[in-house]
Chains A and B, each alone.
Chain A
Amino acid sequence: EAGVTQFPSHSVIEKGQTVTLRCDPISGHDNLYWYRRVMGKEIKFLLHFVKESKQDESGMPNNRFLAERTGGTYSTLKVQPAELEDSGVYFCASSPWTGESYGYTFGSGTRLTVV
């Protein structure tokens, strides 16, 4: 079974530019989550999809961040325009059901650097 795939693995962009991160969950997993870890800080929840619907986006920092999940399959997280404080590692995770949190499978993350 393929795991959660994220790309790119690294992205370096200039302040003010736009970046789109992609996440391909495990096939058949209805639940998809985005988390972010800013350097040296904790991993923070951003949002949760069930299929194509946003169930909880309480962790999204501001309206420069837009997440979508087309047809309930892969998801994208767009940052526009990027700011320096957006730098960090963005993790995606998926699970087959909204059950125990240990059912999560995390991807390897996208390291975003805004210069």
Chain B
Amino acid sequence: DQQVKQNSPSLSVQEGRISILNCDYTNSMFDYFLWYKKYPAEGPTFLISISSIKDKNEDGRFTVFLNKSAKHLSLHIVPSQPGDSAVYFCAAKVRGSNYKLTFGKGTLLTVNP
């Protein structure tokens, strides 16, 4: 039973354009969402997060949008750079748990020069 779903295994965009990575979830008890970035042979690194009481959080080129009614979140990268090429994982935590994360399968983003 996959509670966090990233339905696009891969995404390819041109440098300078917008990258939009999508994530859907099924558990209504999730109250905090995170995006992690992972390069080959490295562990995931935290990128950006959003609380369920917000609908948008921005950090430089990265913006996360949360649509609670649709149980959907997205990560926007503008402008995309070749160094952004990596696997992006959407993750969520349940209200009351400060440590256990539920991850999606990841989306491989390739930014072409």
**How far does the alpha carbon of A48 sit from the alpha carbon of B49 in the complex, in Å?**
21
Of listed B34, B42, B101, residue having the most chain A CB within 10 A:
B101
Question: Interface segment, A62-70, A76-84, A91-99?
Answer: A91-99
* Interface size class of chain B, counting residues whose CB lies under 8 Å from the partner chain: 20 to 34
In the complex, how many residue pairs between chain A and chain B have their CB atoms under 8 Å apart?
Answer: 64
Contact A31 B99 (CB under 8 A): yes
Interface size on A, residues (CB 8 A): 27
A109, CB-defined interface residue at 8 Å: yes
Q: Digit string of B68-104 for contact with A (CB within 8 Å is 1, else 0)? A: 0000000000000000000001010100001111111
A43-B44, A93-B43, A109-B43 known; A101-B2 Cβ under 8 A: no
Residues of B with Cβ closer than 8 Å to A? 2, 4, 32, 34, 41-46, 49, 89, 91, 93, 98-106
